[in-house]
A and B are shown apart, each in its own frame.
Chain A
Amino acid sequence: MANAIIMPRQGQSVESCIFTDWYKQVGDEISKGDMLFAYETDKSSFEQEAEEDGILLATFCEAGDEIPVLQNIGVVGQAGEDISSFQNSGVTKEVAEAQSEVVEEKKVELQQEVVLKEREADEEVKISPRAKRLANAEAVPYQKIDGSGPEGRIIVRDIEAYLVSVPKASPLAKEVMKEEGLAMADKGSGLDGMVKAADLSTNPVYTNDFEIKKLPNIRKLIAKAMHASLQNSAQLTHHLSADARRLLELRQQVKATEGAPNITINDMVCFALIKALKQFPDANAHFLGDSVKYFNKVHLGLAVDTDRGLMVPVIKNADDLSIAGLSNQFKEVAGSCRQGSIDPELLSSEAASFTVSNLGNYGVEMFTPVINLPQVAILGVNTIVPRPADLGGGAYGFVPYMGLSLTYDHQALDGGLATRFLKQIAIEIENLTIDF
């Protein structure tokens, strides 16, 4: 039996391909695996192998033709076989014209008009097997069509009449309609009004513009931790700003000093934070429900954004480190996280006594970081913005301020203590001194 050779489909979104070349002539014998033809998309070019043995009986396209995917472009079979049935879906202009003639002829024969019908939800739809098959192939919503056959049965001519009444759809559009249950578009943007897959998505009501993917494991862990945090603690956030002139000045000095380590603003904020934590041991602690674990040392967690998701590596005994040491350690653990080589022990929320999340680089002015339980608080560091300030002496001017957002667990800390702690961080920042 003769079989169609179709233009392969390259990817979900490719509507049509450019036919490049036939490697075989009509009449040639071909074997499975022979190179049969070449084609290209806007992205790359392809060669197609023959999928069965036989004789190349017909070709319906030539080099340079743009062919919708899944269209018949040729026929393979045995000598003498009838190929006329394969030409209907051919795409050359001549064939397309012949096809429309056939349809018109049929219309005259059957004088059938499509009648749409609203059915009750439980009303039976009578449809012949052949009509149903055609309806499914052409993505026709047959439930909406009134049948003209005996006993109101929908028969093939009803489906054909419907198809004549709506624009033609490309093969890809038909597939998309079937798969996603989309209705036919009123107008098509393709050749001769052909509806393309893209036309189907114009009405967002009918578009499902999403795809569902399984969560990677890290995402699941984050989700679980974040959700648990909000469910199991009494979080609230205080916002306060620190005068950043000192920080910026130090930063300038670091930059200006040749051979100095690249100490960032974040390093400096963390250095100041550690100083404040030493004065507020209630904030450097874990809340365990019926008890509180106070840490003698500061184990500072730092939120790092990686391709794989949010990670919070910890720097143990951060209060022992110099500013340069702290800076180096930060760079090291952040690098390990991004490479995926971080020691999992250092990612545990149990490992850190306090966490910093710095979104200042991204321009965030204020946010409410979520506590890494069982820690009792987290500091969010915001961007630096100039604000009007009283410069003294009746003079007002713009001063750079850094926003600080402290989220704390009200179960563990009272508001007054938290406020004093936050204020102390600001004081440490404003009066920071570092050696480098």
Chain B
Amino acid sequence: MPKSQFIDPTKVRQASKIEFKDIPVNQYDKTIEEEKVNFSKEQFVGIYHDMVLIREFETMLNEIKIKGEYQGIGYNHPGPAHLSIGQESAAVGMAYHLDEQDFIFGSHRSHGEILAKGMSAIHKMDDEALMEVMKTFFDGTILKIVSENHQGDLKSLARRFLVYGTLAEIFARETGFNKGLGGSMHAFFTPFGVYPNNAIVGGSGDIAVGAALFKKVNKKEGVVVANIGDASMACGPVWEGLAFASMDQFEQLWEGAYKGGLPIIFNIMNNQYGMGGQTCGETMGYDIAARIGAGVNRDSMHAERVDGYNPLAVIDAYQRKLELLKDKKGPVLLDVLTYRYSGHSPSDASSYRSKEEIEAWEQQDCIASYGAELVKAGIAGQDELDSIKADVTELMKYSMTLAIDEEVSPRMDLVKHPEIIGEMMFSEGSEDKMEDRPVEVNHPMEENPRVQQIAKKERFAFDANGKPFSKIKQYQLRDGLFEAIVDRFYKDPTLVAYGEENRDWGGAFAVYRGLTEALPYQRLFNSPISEASIIGTAIGYAMCGGRVIPEIMYCDFLGRCGDEVFNQLPKWQAMSGNVIKMPVVIRVSVGSKYGAQHSQDWSSLVAHIPGLKVCFPATPYDAKGLMNSALQGTDPVIFFESQRIYDIGEQFHQGGVPEEYYEIPFGEPDVKKEGKDITILSIGATVYRALEAAKELEEKYGMSAEVIDARSIVPFNYEPVIESLKKTGRILLTSDANERGSFLKDMAQRITELAFDELDAPPVVVGSRNWITPAYELEDYFFPTKEWLLDAIHEKIVPLKGHMVSNNFTNAEIIRRSKLGI
């Protein structure tokens, strides 16, 4: 809470009531005659064409799925096809006013939106820009395919390009828009403003908000539309996206050009079913989805239900809503009523709805009724409409023939290039800044109070005699993080950071102290306490070309953004065929002292997910160097920090933490202490306990331990560990993560595999117990301590003469615990 906002008890305790603005429902009532002033004949017919294009595209896929052929061309498509037959008017109406600078995000059922938005962009782009897009996309691969034997203008060539590129993607061809790695549910094409469609229901509900944030913070043209289904309005992340998008601070705290709402429309494609669950009457209580707007902000999100069966009604609504967004009055909620005749997927037997219901909607079919209106109003003859249908059918036959041709449209050759997908998992970029323009900051860096304070600190923990400086004088781990982050804020104009208590508080653990003074609101702000929106928006922000540091205040809260961290962030670089980059550095703080829900090290969970880089530095030098690498890169990084050691000084790097910029490459472990009798490999804050154990081993048992700090978890170079093992023959691994399923187990297995003959004992893992974390006073019974490490060495690796154990690491005890699941 900023000090500038005074909460006056007298005022807030007064009696009053909330009054809601009316939410219009199907208020569009213009005739086609009345609309003639707004549309040319070409535009009227173009709307018809685009709807027919979608209908035929979906019909083609339906026939392929159900009959194995379309127009006599046989094909088996084993993958998914969630079709939107019946919803064409909603898609075309939504896209009609949007150009390529407006971004749409979609769902698993978004073929129609891709085509509608693609056609809209084609209509609006000039030939030169269009040609440039087609020529440069994947080096003109798709253009070359569709150019062959093409007759007609560039727009018609672009239409071929759009239909073929989408279809080839659905059929998992390397010539598809995403090299076949996205497929039906994730296909997209950013040059036409079609951003990732999402196979997780509601997945776009927060990601799209991040795209709108990017537009706003970087002063980009265009708006963002989140096409989500009516059933996704039950999803937490969608509500979190709504909450994030409607924060008061945009209006009340952001300044200058940045003041005002986000340019986003939540467009509910309301086909009235979530799979088979009926949202009105069965699975939801909102009755009319537009009602939700009333609960979100003072403007009720300018919510409105629109008759999505009439393309002109949707176009009309968009005309008005886009004006609102231009006036920075977003966000907007649109409830676009529609209906799909096709099942959820081809396997759907429609057991949840009656034949009569489907027939009743078919009788009012959006394309047929719009066509009849055009004929009635004398805008187009039936012949003309029929010839559009015939032309579109030919286009589909042409596109399908090409897209299933193994010569023209091959799949990725994993025999010839076995690592082709592996090479796409990370973009491995190195970029000082994501855009080249001046940064917006409040003062030169050297005037920053935190920068001035750090300048007086001791960058090495010990004086010339080896005596430690006082804690307060030492340059701390949090200072290392701060230096890397503030440096990047002064380099990369797109960089933003947000999370819970990031601004005035300076972050819960004082890493950001001083940043508030340096940065305007739009670059550093407090988010709602809403992790899904924090990570989801960061993903959308990065997809559009920005760099972002979202923060998860406690590692334990990662569960709150599980889908975003597990399904979204790691996947989109590869699923886009490397069109998209994902420079997101999530700072995750691992706690202690605060019990079971604030003390867990979940590094193993994220390490399990392909597509994330994971690191966990434990010294100021490593923290600064790794943060610099993370912020210089273009890949998603989960950056773990431990609350136990934010105040630790630099004890290892001779000469202290350098003032200048340097990078520590990901994946390289670091020997913190050399030794020859046993190796201790640590992840995170346990490295200091490992060093204590090493000291005792040396003093009491005459053994010299080599202590290696993993620093990174993914990627990880095993070579230095194997080298150490060759010397010592023994290895103990430790971290604060609970022992079962810990990433250390993965490392132990790898080490055994890579250096079996070097081992004088099995690699032994010492993690925390498989319990809840007890109170701080009991933590020594839960987290690894120096004594645990010595006990484990004594019992499992090499008996230490005269050592008395206090913990039981015997095989019998391991079996007993495993049987009990503890």
Contact = CB atoms under 8 A, between A and B. Distances in A.
Indicate whether A and B interact.
yes
Interface of A: 108-111, 128-131, 133, 148-151, 153, 155-157
Contacts of B757: 129-130, 133
Given A149-B798, A150-B795, A157-B798, A109 B702 contact: yes
A129 B795 CA distance: 18
30 contacts: A109-B677, A109-B702, A109-B703, A109-B704, A110-B702, A110-B703, A111-B702, A111-B801, A128-B729, A128-B759, A128-B760, A128-B761, A129-B756, A129-B757, A129-B759, A130-B757, A130-B758, A130-B759, A131-B760, A148-B799, A149-B760, A149-B761, A149-B797, A149-B799, A150-B795, A150-B797, A153-B761, A155-B760, A156-B729, A156-B760
Nearest to B726: A85
Given A128-B761, A151-B811, 8 more contacts: A129-B756, A129-B758, A129-B760, A130-B757, A130-B758, A149-B799, A156-B729, A157-B798
Contacts of A156: 729, 760
Interface string B781-818: 00000000000000111110100000000010000000
Contacts of A133: 757
Contacts of B729: 128, 130, 156
Contacts of A109: 677, 702-704
Contact of B796 (A108, A131, A150): A150
A39 B796 CA distance: 49
Nearest to A111: B801
A149 B702 CA distance: 17
Contacts of B704: 109
B761 A155 contact: yes
A427 to B, nearest CB: 82
B696 to A, nearest CB: 14
B797 A130 contact: no
A153 B801 CA distance: 16
Nearest to A155: B760
Contacts of A128: 729, 759-761
A133 B760 CA distance: 10
A110 B703 CA distance: 8
Contacts of A148: 799
Contacts of B795: 150
B760 A150 contact: no
Q: Which of A149, A150, A153: most chain B Cβ within 10 A?
A: A150
B799 A150 contact: yes
Q: Which of A108, A111, A130, A157: most chain B Cβ within 10 A?
A: A130
Contacts of B811: 151
B798 A155 contact: yes
Contacts of A129: 756-760
A400 to B, nearest CB: 76
A410 B438 CA distance: 123
A159 B806 CA distance: 30
Nearest to A159: B760
Nearest to B677: A109
A108 B702 contact: yes
A410 B799 CA distance: 81
A42 to B, nearest CB: 38
A281 B760 CA distance: 84
Q: Which of B759, B760, B811: most chain A Cβ within 10 A?
A: B760
A8 to B, nearest CB: 26
Interface in B682-708: 702-704
A148 B795 CA distance: 12
Contacts of B796: 150
The 10 A-B residue pairs whose C-beta atoms are closest, nearest first, are A109-B702, A130-B760, A128-B760, A130-B729, A156-B760, A155-B760, A129-B757, A129-B759, A133-B757, A129-B756
Nearest to A112: B801
A77 to B, nearest CB: 14
A150 B702 contact: no
B404 to A, nearest CB: 51
A125 to B, nearest CB: 15
A151 B798 CA distance: 10
B761 A150 contact: yes
A133 B761 CA distance: 13
B814 to A, nearest CB: 12
B286 to A, nearest CB: 64
A138 to B, nearest CB: 15
A129 B758 CA distance: 7
A149 B794 CA distance: 9
Contacts of B799: 148-150
Interface in B738-777: 756-761
A320 to B, nearest CB: 79
Contacts of A130: 729, 757-760
A130 B678 CA distance: 13
A121 B740 CA distance: 39
A324 to B, nearest CB: 79
A60 to B, nearest CB: 21
A130 B756 CA distance: 8
Contacts of B758: 129-130
A218 to B, nearest CB: 49
Contacts of A108: 702
Nearest to A158: B760
Contacts of B756: 129
A109 B757 CA distance: 24
Interface in B434-459: none
B722 to A, nearest CB: 12
Q: Which of B677, B761, B795, B797: most chain A Cβ within 10 A?
A: B761
Contacts of B759: 128-130
Contacts of A149: 760-761, 797-799
A276 B492 CA distance: 123
A153 B762 CA distance: 11
A110 B758 CA distance: 19
A89 to B, nearest CB: 16
Q: Which of B677, B798, B811: most chain A Cβ within 10 A?
A: B798
A150 B797 CA distance: 7
A334 B471 CA distance: 105
A110 B761 CA distance: 16
Nearest to A154: B760
A155 B760 CA distance: 6
Interface in B559-585: none
Interface in B115-156: none
B734 to A, nearest CB: 18
A148 B757 CA distance: 19
Contacts of A111: 702, 801
A86 to B, nearest CB: 13
Contacts of A157: 798
A420 to B, nearest CB: 80
A163 to B, nearest CB: 15
B10 to A, nearest CB: 73
Nearest to A156: B760
Nearest to B727: A85
B673 to A, nearest CB: 17
A41 B759 CA distance: 39
Contacts of B801: 111
A133 B756 CA distance: 10
A155 B756 CA distance: 14
A153 B729 CA distance: 14
Contacts of B702: 108-111
Interface in B652-686: 677
Contacts of A150: 761, 795-799
B800 to A, nearest CB: 10
